[in-house]
Structure 1
């Protein structure tokens, strides 16, 4: 068989480590006896010559070596006439930075392929069953079942800010304002990111003091660049002003790259502060993520955290984000830090405290709304990766949950709250008249 490969990566991750991973993937491919065509070096951006090189292949194999957005891979997959496979590689949970974040890239791409009705196979691991990946049956889409739970009352007047547009290639963060309003009654106000930056720069110094006082309690705060720290805290003040002026219940913010490249300070620390104060904020302008957080916050009556799934093994998964979980979720006193890739302040760093949790998403995978739930327990484990992260043992098993993440086309953001709120969220599905699916549960039906 002729296998066309596209090895995808981004320079903001650990390129040397990614090259090591790619070499091992290529060695396994070369030992398979198949003819391998296409580029054998990491592709850091869309590459038309690479697309032309893999066009004669019998199967297209996308090598997800680090996190990337899904734009180029989706275009390649949709435009290819034969079977499509995706292979992502794990990294050790060392307590350091996320050097690859390849699982999240696989998650993002699986959602985009689902939206485009493009069948695919997938694998996550170092040594994999290559023949099953290249010749196996594509993922069978999974869909939830009607909810039989008693209806849970929800707010029908949520006010959501969308500040800046979603990044290109993040189909997981797309939304239709009218469809969202019809579904749940939420009103979305679209604001411009440069206007947020201007408001933050113009914020009187006295208005920054409350956020500086919160930051002063963080370990290591004195080691951060004062200018970056001030700019970051000004974002907290500006966001809080917008919340008060418009009475926003939640916000979806385009957090990168412009907060770093144009403004010069991270919004992650401010998001943690606002989340602790019960104004949840979603990264990457994820409007449905913001609505998801607002619903779960009301159900749980507690702060919530919008997390990525960044690693899955046979026993556990890791929930993570750069450094924006509410401080009350910390297993130890939070430390101040900088963004692992962009190296700017302010972020919080801590492992999540042990305890029962619920993960929840108001999903629009495959273009149809449903509620997706997972329950489990954050374990008393060392921090898996820098930022805010926790190691989770899922009630239905990590392998089954991982398979359902791909089969449902689930978005890469899920809201997390402490406690078991699954029954109340099933009731939300009843209220909205949409299906509900519990990840890993065998009771749901194929789409």
Structure 2
């Protein structure tokens, strides 16, 4: 895979030679400014064409742009142009943005009429197309572009990523059978591969991992050796993949006498993405959230509802980046086995995504208060939103149940609902609306 942060952008300037603005060199100065911006925002100009003025030139530019394997093609209206000069570019099977440069003066002869060309362009687009207006230096242009870059990073990992489904889903969690329909490659393996990986871990590797252990723990380091062994085995299996969906119970605690959660948490600290209970759709959602936010994302259950809000909780596999206070390893709340990571989820905005069968998705958000709930990783969700629209906690809960969403919420740090909504548009995913009916049966 290409580096997850560096996007490839193409630029095709469109001109109509009759307009004065076609002779000012605006396409060259804006290209240089865009290249400089790319160094700051994490993209490269991988293809730039000469100015296009007619249908034949547009066809040639479209072929070259498709060969360049772009994440986004910017069709730049330097001046007004008629549809034949850019329609071949709008039909490309890659995300396209239509961009109009501002006029160089605002009295006398009309120099470019570029914004009118943009208007014509968006009226002719027959698939999702993002519009942009302004000079590269303009805040409005940069804000819209940053949003698109985030959306495209999420879309790229969902199209091109490769994940491992290790052991299938947890017993009875039949909703986790579903697989993404975005192009993500899912390779399946049985838990036998984990047992083999465990057998290959040397005592020296375990000792080295134990010697480096520094986290607060209710267990002495010697009692965590099997946890370190499991961590090393999972790391070896996860290394070639963007993420792993793991069936972490009941076989692992039954066979090894340890829970997988602390090992998963420590691997998350190291940059790996693991989803519990074999939830591949949840894993895909985590990968998109991570690509957009630049921070690790986690899966959580809805475990309690009260005037404080909606308590989100899971067994203790969250990375320390999510911790609102120092973490510690403690026994599992049911099995009393080592170990889970206990911590409050840090206060602040979060963004959620749940990919669903049939090319559907839920996009949501809200604020975590920072108050800890149950043992493991937990916190209260308040001021929830659904597709960027505010709801009460009760309306959010009702919408979640009325849509019959599987029981894992994938959440990322920060407020990125707009980027997720755009990502869904690029991927052709239907974003479900809120269904906050609180009393009657909704099915």
Alignment TM-score > 0.5, same fold: yes
Q: Which residue does 1:371 correspond to in 2? A: 361
Deviation at 1:374, TM superposition (A): 1.9
- Residue 429 of structure 1, aligned match among 408, 424, 433: 424
Q: Which residue does 1:287 correspond to in 2? A: 280
Mapped pair 1:392 → 2:381: yes
Q: Which residue does 2:289 correspond to in 1? A: 296
Task: Give the distance between the partners of 2:129 and 2:346, measured in 1 at CA.
Answer: 32
Task: Give the distance between the partners of 1:378 and 1:427, measured in 2 at CA.
Answer: 24
Counterparts of residues 268-417 of structure 1 (less than 5 Å) = 268-364=261-357, 368-381=358-371, 383-395=372-384, 396-417=391-412
> Residues 347 and 276 (structure 1 numbering): CA distance in 2 closer, same or farther, change over 3 Å?
same
Counterparts of residues 19-168 of structure 1 (less than 5 Å) = 152-153=151-152, 154-155=155-156, 156-168=159-171
Q: Which residue does 2:204 correspond to in 1? A: 206
Q: Which residue does 2:228 correspond to in 1? A: 233
Task: Give the distance between the partners of 1:204 and 1:214, measured in 2 at CA.
Answer: 16
Task: Give the distance between the partners of 2:308 and 2:367, measured in 1 at CA.
Answer: 12
CA root-mean-square deviation:
2.4
Deviations 1:32-69 (Å, cap 9, x if unpaired)? xxxxxxxxxxxxxxxxxxxxxxxxxxxxxxxxxxxxxx
Equivalent residue pairs, number:
285
Deviation at 1:264, TM superposition (A): 1.8
Deviations 1:279-318 (Å, cap 9, x if unpaired)? 2111111111111111111011101111111112355101
Secondary structure of the equivalent of 2:432? strand
Q: Which residue does 2:141 correspond to in 1? A: none
Task: Give the distance between the partners of 1:377 and 1:407, measured in 2 at CA.
Answer: 22
CA contact (8 A) 2:403 2:435 kept: no
Deviation at 1:439, TM superposition (A): 4.8
Task: Give the distance between the partners of 1:169 and 1:233, measured in 2 at CA.
Answer: 29
Deviations 1:249-283 (Å, cap 9, x if unpaired)? 01000011111112222110111122222221111
Mapped pair 1:266 → 2:259: yes
Q: Given the two structures, how large is their TM-score scaled by the length of structure 2?
A: 0.60
> Residues 171 and 189 (structure 1 numbering): CA distance in 2 closer, same or farther, change over 3 Å?
same
- The higher radius of gyration belongs to 2
Secondary structure of the equivalent of 1:411? coil
Task: Give the distance between the partners of 1:441 and 1:214, measured in 2 at CA.
Answer: 49
> Residues 413 and 148 (structure 1 numbering): CA distance in 2 closer, same or farther, change over 3 Å?
farther
> Residues 348 and 315 (structure 1 numbering): CA distance in 2 closer, same or farther, change over 3 Å?
closer
> Residues 337 and 438 (structure 1 numbering): CA distance in 2 closer, same or farther, change over 3 Å?
farther
Secondary structure of the equivalent of 1:349? strand
Deviation at 1:201, TM superposition (A): 3.6
CA contact (8 A) 1:323 1:349 kept: yes
> Residues 405 and 249 (structure 1 numbering): CA distance in 2 closer, same or farther, change over 3 Å?
same
CA contact (8 A) 2:182 2:427 kept: yes
Q: Given the two structures, how large is their TM-score scaled by the length of structure 1?
A: 0.60
Task: Give the distance between the partners of 1:198 and 1:386, measured in 2 at CA.
Answer: 32
Task: Give the distance between the partners of 1:439 and 1:372, measured in 2 at CA.
Answer: 9
Mapped pair 1:185 → 2:186: no
> Residues 334 and 400 (structure 1 numbering): CA distance in 2 closer, same or farther, change over 3 Å?
same
CA contact (8 A) 1:277 1:303 kept: no
Task: Give the distance between the partners of 1:314 and 1:335, measured in 2 at CA.
Answer: 28
Deviations 1:114-163 (Å, cap 9, x if unpaired)? xxxxxxxxxxxxxxxxxxxxxxxxxxxxxxxx999886212222111111
Deviation at 1:202, TM superposition (A): 3.1
Q: Which residue does 1:71 correspond to in 2? A: none
Q: Which residue does 2:19 correspond to in 1? A: none
Q: Which residue does 2:176 correspond to in 1? A: 173
Secondary structure of the equivalent of 1:336? strand
